[in-house]
Amino acid sequence: MSIAGLTYRHAFGFKSSVHNGVILLDEQNVLYPVGSNIAIYHTETKAQKFIPCQDATALAISPNHRYIAVAERNPRPAISIWDVSTLRKRKTLVPGPAPAAAAAAAAKQPDIGTMVFSADSKHFMVTTVGPDASVTIWNWEKAKVSAHLRVCHAPHEQSITSTSFNPADPSQVAVVGHGVLKVYRFQEGHLRPLVNFGRWAETKHFTAHFWAAADKLLLGTQQGHMMLVDTASGEIREDSAHTRTLGGDACAIATMLPYSKGFLVAGAGGLSMYEFLEEALYAANLNALGEAVGPVSATAAEGFVHSAISEGPLVMNGGVGALDAAAAATADDAIKLTHLSQPFHHGQITGMDVCVRKPLLATCGSDRSVRLWNFVDNTVELVKYFSEDPHSVAIHPSGLYLLVGFSDKLRFMSILLDDLRVFREFSIRGCREVQFSTGGQFFAAVHGNSIQVYSTWNFENLANLKGHNGKVRSLDWSKDDSHLVSAGMDGAVYEWSVADLVLGNIKRENEHVLKTCSYTAAVHQFESGHLFAVGSDKTLKEISEGQVIREIVAKDMVMTQIRFSHSGRMLVVG
């Protein structure tokens, strides 16, 4: 008999902590990190492909768009280079000190900060994070270190923020960061300083840059200044403030991206467009999108521009034609951007539930929002923000009602076309577990160490189930709603008989207590009547009549969640 397997179908989310975390592969495909994967998202079909990774910290794409580099943190810092067309791993690079010092290297390696390919895609530059940040240049196809240099000696958490090869001269590289502005020439396996910019550079926090010409760098700073410097003489050619409005305060710069007629600046002031003029090195801000913006990227043909807004959604504007039209417009006109993807949660997801009769997934998070996702269309159908954090969520099997637990109350809501309307409130404080029954006629909510069961239709409190001495972490209704299973931090798993719930005939039918284990989830298998539970002891237990009849030990992980498939033949553990 073949064993069923699980494959990723779609992932909703965006991991904003990854450096250069949004990359446009072509006019239809965008690459970005989500969870423990790198997703390749098709903007028209909304389908995704996945590249597995372990805690990604940075991304890069070769100029010919044939290779993707993914920097990972676990189990130790390493770089995987993937072929875009086949999605197969080509090389694995492990950064570190120069080969002669490799044997004496410390056991803990610093994380990878930035990565960039050379213009011919043959060389690959990597920087590390930390007070002793270094630069390593690889001939990546041979997995050979071509040069290595320690750049920073300052006590900053991440001293280097941006690196690049000179497009006109691949032997020149630029490294900028917090108190760092260096231009090196790569020759005979060594990185040699090309120019001394003076002590003024040590006082600046450079966040972004690009090569404006073969001998000129345009720099952006955390203080909101744009500086054009000559890499031959080290002199500042121009210094101006980046502002959201004419004469306004300078806004911090996160990313700078050149295009044919000018460049884009993204940061605290939003997304702004600048144009190069003959009589000036760069013009005033022409257009602005007034939201905080993160990484920006474009295809080599400049077909699209996309960006990651601070809260997580991706946005796209359609092509050079639109950019040129925006540049020619008046200063009062805003850059026109259309959403590439729906907005995601920005923070921890605290609750989730799946509808039985509609393709809906309900989530709530620490961003104080409740969202309804359509997992067939791969879109978000409804987003509602609240004034306090929602802790738990449950969606009715019909897809028409929602239960959301808040710090002060449990709220029963009607799902409207574009809103969630509160219909009834229950005095259940800090409800972190709530579940509708399989048929939807009942719902159970955790109130401290007890469980309250209500009728969905008249909201009558039908039962208060007591017995747990610690927080209840899990609720599960049987397929026919005759049993309710609860698991708690006190090491107890209880099976409640609720077949005659309306008549008030409720009893605790089975119980299993193991005080050395804090249970986080337990489920009921309808065919056998057995219970399955997981907890802090890294063991999956099968329980019958209060006794453990089988155990499966996961040596290196703690299992926290467990669910049966609809057929009851496949058990999924997380």
Is 338 exposed, middle or buried, given 0-12, 13-18 or 19+ CB atoms closer than 10 A? exposed
- Percent pLDDT > 90 in the chain is 42
Q: CA 52, CA 532: separation in Å to the nearest integer?
A: 29
Q: CA 501, CA 510: separation in Å to the nearest integer?
A: 17
Query: What is residue 503's predicted lDDT score, i.e. its pLDDT?
Result: 67
Give the total number of structural domains in the chain: 1
Angstrom distances, CA of residue 367 to CA of 296, 297, 473 = 24, 26, 22
Q: What is the dihedral of CA 318, 322, 324, 329, to 10 degrees?
A: -140
In a domain, 44, yes or no: no
Q: Are 144 and 122 in contact (CB under 8 A)?
A: no
In the 3-class helix/strand/coil scheme, how is 289-340 assigned residue by residue? ECCCEEEEEECCCCCCEEEEECCCCEEEECHHHHHHHHHHCCCCCCCCCEEC
Q: CA 85, CA 83: separation in Å to the nearest integer?
A: 6
56-61: strand order across its sheet: 56-61, 67-72, 78-83, 88-93
pLDDT tens profile 89-143: 999 988 765 444 444 444 467 788 889 999 988 899 998 877 677 889 999 998 8
- Fill in the DSSP letter of residue 250: B
Amino acid residing at 282: Y
Whole-model pTM? 0.83
Contacts of 271 (CB under 8 A, 6+ apart): 264, 265, 288, 289, 291, 293, 296, 307, 335, 337
Containing domain of residue 529, as a range? 349-573
pLDDT tens profile 373-418: 999 998 899 999 999 999 999 999 999 999 999 999 999 999 999 9
Amino acid residing at 441: Q
pLDDT tens profile 270-304: 777 787 766 555 555 555 555 555 555 554 334 44
- Count the alpha carbons within 13 Å of 350 in the hemisphere toward its beta carbon: 24
In a domain, 354, yes or no: yes
In a domain, 527, yes or no: yes
pLDDT tens profile 529-549: 899 999 999 899 999 988 999
In a domain, 410, yes or no: yes
Query: What is residue 201's predicted lDDT score, i.e. its pLDDT?
Result: 86
- Residue 158: phi and psi, rounded to 5, are -140, 95
Contacts of 107 (CB under 8 A, 6+ apart): none
- Residue 501: phi and psi, rounded to 5, are -60, -40
Q: What is the dihedral of CA 436, 440, 442, 445, to 10 degrees?
A: 10
In a domain, 526, yes or no: yes
Q: CA 434, CA 442: separation in Å to the nearest integer?
A: 11
pLDDT in tens, the chain (574 residues): 456 677 888 998 888 888 888 888 887 888 989 988 999 998 888 899 999 988 899 999 999 899 999 999 877 889 999 999 999 999 998 876 544 444 444 446 778 888 999 998 889 999 887 767 788 999 999 888 888 888 765 554 447 889 999 999 888 999 998 888 999 998 878 888 888 888 888 888 999 999 988 999 999 999 989 899 999 888 888 888 887 665 677 888 888 888 777 888 877 777 777 877 665 555 555 555 555 555 555 543 344 445 554 444 444 433 333 322 233 333 344 555 666 677 788 888 999 999 999 999 999 999 999 999 999 998 899 999 999 999 999 999 999 999 999 999 999 999 999 999 999 999 999 999 999 999 999 999 999 899 999 999 999 999 999 999 999 999 999 999 999 999 999 999 999 988 777 666 778 888 999 999 999 999 998 888 899 999 999 899 999 988 999 998 887 888 899 988 877 788 888 8
Report residue 532 as tokens.
């399955």
Contacts of 211 (CB under 8 A, 6+ apart): 164, 166, 167, 168, 174, 217, 218
If DSSP codes are grouped into helix, strand and coil, which group holds residue 199?
helix
If DSSP codes are grouped into helix, strand and coil, which group holds residue 182?
strand
CATH code (residue 379): 2.130.10.10
- Count the alpha carbons within 13 Å of 254 in the hemisphere toward its beta carbon: 21
Is 329 exposed, middle or buried, given 0-12, 13-18 or 19+ CB atoms closer than 10 A? middle
**Residue tagged 């029963």 (tokens):** 412
**Residue tagged 């999924």 (tokens):** 572
